[in-house]
Amino acid sequence: MTGKVTLVGAGPGDPGLLPRKGEAALRAAEVVVYDRLIAPELLELLPPTAERIDVGKEADHHPVPQWRINEILLEKAQEGKNVVRLKGGDPFLFGRGGEELDLLAQHHIPFEVVPGVTSALAVPAYAGIPVTHRDYASSLHIVTGHAKAGSPLQINFRALAEAGGTCVFLMGVSALERICDGLLAAGMATETSAAVVERGTLPGQRKIVSNLGHLAEETRRADLHSPAVIVVGEVAALSDRFDWFDMLPLKGRTVVVTRPKRRAGALRSRLRELGADVVDYPCIETVPRLENPLLEQCLAQISHYDWVAFTSSAGVEVFFDALWRLGLDSRALGGVKLAAIGPSTAQALEARHLRADFMPTVYDTEHLALGLAQRTNGPVLLPRAALGSPILPRVLEEQGVAFTDVPVYDTVFPGEHADALLPLLAAGETWVTFTSASTVRGFVGSLPEGTDLSRVLGLCIGPQTAAECARHGIRTRVAREATVPALVELILKVAGE
Ligand code: SAH
């Protein structure tokens, strides 16, 4: 059986610009063949078993030549695989998508094309430049500035100058001077507005807005490089007025997220929406204990407990998975009451259509324990991390509450993986979010011994997390309450200071 190849346009960088059809294709892919500049988030959509083939091209040298890429697609499809060819921007706009389909068509391999959001349109849009505008431009010309090594540019400058619309040049930075000279020689005015936008739609997007006479010089001075889009035409002058991306409150800020990968999503995407450059640096992973005789014993006698108190959404997940594996479901809980330490734990219960009977007003273990002490008439079950806070059992003991502390998952630290982080720490103040004391321990443990932590600013979800930071000499700011929205609010506040 032959497979199929789907050519998918991944968009110019912002992972949110992947088309829905492209997302569906990635989720079903068995093989993905992808380019440089593809957002890592997009590869996370792949099934874990999918084969990933990186054919990324560095400027001026091609690690995997085009003919070989074409062959890989053919070979994998002939093996019967569902292949996705993930390409930057739109696959057919200066993307050699046509060449890739040629060989497939010759061999009667079925294929589909998912058009993408091209950088030619999206990058100007993220820089506040509408490529047409009734008052300024009624046509758009998209031109490649790429020329074979040693040969002159193949651009009809006269035609562009006469047409009078907006010109967008891709792959043009290294030929910028020749492009500007060509347009001027063809009669365009030196005052014609023009812009260069580097790494458009990405957190590190930079731009300069100038005019045709000064564009090349200013681009050199600002040290802008490929990938960049060049826009020539009156619409470029609107850039500063319509800029929205550079105005995002966290634009230009780098924020390190230390949550476990599986749980980082909400914080990560919220910070990105606010313009931050988010560095994923997972410092802990939670591993459920699948063999757990103590938990099974407690579940078998669950009606013996007055309360089950959860201190994390991971605890909720493992608890109900274990119940399910025993052939039971939430009805087994009967009249047992449920406590959640805070809103995200309560949400994990809600996802199972269960309400928390109690959630403390301050979302920490101490307030949880004190609240339980006031309410309970019998023993409390604590399904939680093996490395959970000692405060919870201590306070319950002090209050004379009987409880069973059941470790249901282990917290593992990935160990040293600091290569991506050390340059950031060396560069200056580094903002690191911490959502639990264990993320702090994982963070410190991931760094080589003796790393200077004085320039880390720990953005902490609560006081216990901050206390762990203080133990390692990390300066902190603490969220108003222990929730992800409050942590984001804190980051916005610190950014505004
Ligand atoms: N098929 C792609 C273009 C491939 S050619 C598309 O439709 O977008 C590669 C050129 O695209 C780069 O040299 C640059 O000019 C432009 N480009 C791609 N991504 C970009 C980005 N994020 N910011 C600026 N330019 C980008």
Tens of pLDDT, residue by residue over 52-80, are: 999 985 555 667 889 999 999 999 999 99
Cα-to-centroid distance, 221 and ligand 1 (Å):
22
**For residue 120, which atom of ligand 1 is closest to its CA?**
8
Structure tokens at 7: 């050519």
Q: Is 12 in the pocket of ligand 1 (CB under 6 A)?
A: yes
Distance 220 CA to ligand 1 centre (A): 19
Q: What is the pLDDT of residue 374?
A: 96
Mean pLDDT, the chain, rounded, equals 94
**Closest residue CA from atom 24 of ligand 1:** 228
Amino acid identity at 337: K
Q: Is 124's C-beta closer than 6 angstroms to any atom of ligand 1?
A: no
Q: Does the beta carbon of 205 sit less than 6 angstroms from any atom of ligand 1?
A: no
343 lines ligand 1 (CB under 6 A): no
- The rounded Å distance from CA 122 to ligand 1 centre is 10
Residue with CA closest to ligand 1 atom 5: 94
Query: Is residue 383 lining ligand 1, measured as CB closer than 6 Å?
Result: no
Identified catalytic residue from 4, 14, 35, 81 = 35
Give the pLDDT confidence score for residue 149 in this predicted structure. 73
**In this predicted structure, what is the pLDDT of residue 255?**
97
pLDDT in tens, 258-303: 988 777 778 998 999 999 999 989 999 889 999 999 999 999 999 9
Mutate to test the pocket of ligand 1, among 208, 229, 230, 231 (most ligand atoms within 8 A of CB): 229
Q: Is 370 exposed, middle or buried (0-12, 13-18, 19+ CB in 10 A)?
A: middle
Q: Is the CB of 227 under 6 A from ligand 1?
A: yes
- Tell me what pLDDT residue 450 has: 87
For ligand 1, atom 6, name the residue with the nearest CA: 89
**What residues are paired with 442 via a beta bridge?**
none
Token code pair at residue 357: 């009977």
Q: Given ligand 1 and candidates 38, 170, 197, 202, which is best to mutate, with the most ligand atoms within 8 Å of its CB?
A: 170
How many angstroms separate the alpha carbon of residue 191 from the centre of ligand 1? 26
- The lowest-confidence range among 38-42, 62-66, 123-127, 430-434 is 62-66
- Residue 470: the pLDDT is 96
Is residue 90 within 6 Å of ligand 1 at its C-beta? yes
Q: Is the CB of 203 under 6 A from ligand 1?
A: no
pLDDT at 60: 55
Spacing, Cα 89 to ligand 1 middle (Å): 6
- Known catalytic residue at 76: no
Share of the chain above pLDDT 90, in %: 85
The stretch 375-387 carries a mean pLDDT of 94
Predicted confidence (pLDDT) at residue 145 exceeds the cutoff of 90: yes
User: So what's the pLDDT on residue 150?
Assistant: 75
176 Cα: distance to centroid of ligand 1 (angstroms): 15
Residue 87 CA: nearest ligand 1 atom is: 1
Q: How far is the CA of 63 from the centre of ligand 1 (A)?
A: 19
User: 121 CB less than 6 Å from ligand 1?
Assistant: no
CA 164, distance to chain mean position in Å, is 40
Where is pLDDT greater, at 269 or 234?
Answer: 234
The pairing of strands 51-54 and 140-144 is unpaired
Ligand 1 atom closest to Cα of 226? 13
- pLDDT tens per residue, range 158-203: 999 999 999 999 999 999 999 999 999 999 999 999 999 999 999 9
Q: Catalytic site residue 35?
A: yes
118 lines ligand 1 (CB under 6 A): yes
Considering the candidates 4, 14, 21, 57, report the single residue annotated as catalytic: 57
Count CB atoms within 10 A of the CB of residue 128: 22
> What six digits make up the tokens of 192?
């014609």
Which is the closest atom of ligand 1 to the Cα of 90? 7
